[in-house]
A and B are shown apart, each in its own frame.
Chain A
Amino acid sequence: MSGGGERTPRAARLPGFLRVSGFEARIALALVVATTLPLVGALFLAGRLAEENLALGLDPRVLDRLSDVPALYGDLFQARKGLYAEQARALAMGLPRDRALARRYLDGAIARTPRLRRIAWLGPDGGTIAEAAARGPNPEGEFREAPARVDLPGGGRLECAFAIEARFFAELDETRELAELIQGVHALRAEIRRSYVRAFGALLVAMALAAAVIGVLLARRTTRRVGALVGAVRRLAAGDLTVQVDPGGSADEVAGLTRAFNAMVREVRESRDRIVYLEKISGWQEVARRLAHEIKNPLTPMKLAFQQLEARWGRPGPEPRDPEFTRLLAEAGEIVRDEIGTLQRLVEEFSGFAKLPEVRPEPADLGDFVEEFLRTSPDVGERADVEVVKAAAETPVALDRGLMRRVLANLCANAIDASRPERARIHLGVARTRDRAVLTVADEGPGIERALRERIFDPYFTTKDTGTGLGLAIVKKIVLQHGGEIQAGERPGGGASFSLALPVRGPGSTGSS
Chain B
Amino acid sequence: MNPRRTWPAALAALALGAAVPGLARAQPSPLVARLAVENGRVLASVDLSAAFGPSLERELGNGLTNVVAVYVAVLPERGRTPALVHGRVFEILYDVWEETYAVTLKDPHVPQGVRTVVRDFATLRTLLADERSLDLGPSSLLPKEPFVVEARVELNPLSKEQLQRTREFIANPAAGTRATGGSRSVLGAVASFLLREPEPGSGVHLFRSRPFGPGELLAPR
Chain A residues engaging chain B, CB cutoff 8 angstroms? 67-71, 73-74, 77, 144, 169, 172, 174, 176-181, 183-185, 187-188, 190-192, 194-196, 198-200, 202-203
Q: Is the CB of A184 within 8 A of B191?
A: no
> Closest A-chain residue to B173, C-beta based?
A57
Query: How many residues of chain B get a CB closer than 8 Å to chain A's CBs?
Result: 32
Tell whether, in the assembled complex, residue B198 and residue A198 are in contact, meaning their CB atoms are under 8 Å apart. Answer: no
Contact with B64, one of A70, A169, A174, A192 (Cβ below 8 angstroms): A70
B96 contacts partner chain A, Cβ-Cβ < 8 Å: yes
**Which residues of A sit under 8 angstroms from B194, Cβ to Cβ?**
195, 198-199, 202
> In the complex, what distance in Å separates the CA atom of A12 from the CA atom of B138?
64
Q: In the complex the two chains form, is A180's CB within 8 Å of B195's CB?
A: no
Task: Report Cα–Cα, A178/B169, bound state, in Å.
Answer: 11
Contact A176 B169 (CB under 8 A): no
Q: How far is the CB of A186 from chain B (nearest CB, A)?
A: 10
Q: Is A77 within 8 A of B96, CB to CB? A: yes
User: What are 9 A-B residue pairs whose CB atoms fall within 8 Å in the complex?
Assistant: A176-B65, A180-B162, A183-B156, A184-B163, A187-B158, A188-B158, A192-B170, A195-B196, A200-B187
A74 touches B166 (CB 8 A): no
Inter-subunit contact B190/A203 (CB<8 Å): yes
Q: Max chain A CB contacts within 10 Å: which of B166, B176, B188?
A: B166
Cβ–Cβ contact B158 & A184, under 8 A: yes
Q: A180-B162, A183-B156, A191-B197 are in contact. List 15 more A-B contacts (CB 8 A).
A: A70-B64, A70-B94, A73-B96, A74-B63, A144-B97, A172-B63, A172-B96, A178-B176, A180-B1, A183-B162, A185-B166, A185-B170, A192-B166, A192-B170, A199-B190
Would A181 and B177 count as touching, CB distance under 8 A?
A: yes
Question: Any chain A CB within 8 A of the CB of B209?
Answer: no
Please tell me if B62 contacts chain A, counting CB pairs below 8 Å: yes
**How many cross-chain pairs have Cβ atoms below 8 Å apart between A and B?**
96
The CA-CA distance from A144 to B163 in the complex, in Å, is 34
A180 close to B96 (CB less than 8 A) = no
Whether A74 lies near B187 (C-beta < 8 A) is no
Top-9 shortest CB links A-B: A70-B63, A74-B96, A199-B190, A199-B191, A184-B162, A195-B195, A198-B194, A195-B191, A195-B194
For the complex, give the distance between the alpha carbons of A169 and B165 in Å: 22
A71 touching B177, Cβ below 8 Å: no
Say yes or no: is B201 at the interface (Cβ < 8 Å to chain A): yes
B26-79 interface (Cβ within 8 A of A): 62-65
From residue A54, how far is it (CB to closest CB) to chain B in Å?
Answer: 10
* A199 CA / B94 CA spacing, docked (Å): 38
**A residues in contact with B176, CB < 8 Å:** 178, 181
Q: How far is the CA of A181 from the CA of B158 in the complex (A)?
A: 11
> Which of B63, B65, B186, B190 has the largest count of A CB atoms less than 10 A from its CB?
B63
